[in-house]
Amino acid sequence: MVQRATRASVTVDGEVVGAIDRPGLVALVGVTHDDGPQQAGTIARKIAELRILRDERSAVDEGAPVLVISQFTLYADVRKGRRPTWNAAAPGPVAEPLVDAVVAGLRARGLEVATGRFGADMAVELVNDGPVTILVEAS
């Protein structure tokens, strides 16, 4: 999930661990069991090249920062009952390296990338610009 933001930050235990202080993107990255390095590379490319900034520009075009936050809850299943299940989300040892690969792919494209902290209880603040929120999938 990618959101256009004017600014955003992630706080863990009272400490800001990642922030962007100018217009850019916030990427909530979820990983499922079928994902691998190829999907991580595709997601990084799409985030970097999406033309969702002002005047149909991309993060690469603008040199815009990206805040990447791991988000297993994107794979919540709420079809039955009132309590979500997380069965579709990959476990931490599988997911964390793939979230790291997305970050590396963005940085390889010359982008400034801030991150949350994998597995932590994070407080996310952002000013959604537009608002613009786009679901991005690798397949």
pTM: 0.95
Is beta strand 113-115 parallel, antiparallel or unpaired with respect to 66-70? parallel
- Cβ-proximal residues to 40 (8 Å cutoff; 6+ apart), any chain: 98, 99, 101, 102, 105, 138
Q: State pLDDT tens for residues 61-73.
A: 999 999 999 999 9
- For the 2-134 domain, the top CATH level (class) is alpha beta
Which residues are annotated as catalytic?
71-73
Q: State pLDDT tens for residues 119-137.
A: 999 999 999 999 999 999 9
pLDDT above 90: percentage of residues in the chain: 98
The residues that bridge with 128 in the sheet, in sequence order, are 5
Q: State pLDDT tens for residues 12-46.
A: 999 999 999 999 999 999 999 999 999 999 999 99
Q: State pLDDT tens for residues 49-101.
A: 999 999 999 999 999 999 999 999 999 999 998 999 999 999 999 999 999 99
61 conformational bin, left if phi > 0, alpha if psi -120 to 50, beta if neither: alpha
Structure-block tokens of residue 114: 């801030």
User: What pLDDT shows up at residue 42?
Assistant: 97
Domain edges within the chain: 2-134
pLDDT category at 139 given cuts 50, 70, 90 is confident
For the stretch 53-60, contacts whose Cβ atoms lie closer than 8 Å and that sit 24 or more positions apart, written own/partner, are 53/4, 53/23, 53/25, 54/23, 59/24, 59/25, 59/106, 59/111, 60/109, 60/110, 60/111
Is beta strand 15-20 parallel, antiparallel or unpaired with respect to 2-12? antiparallel
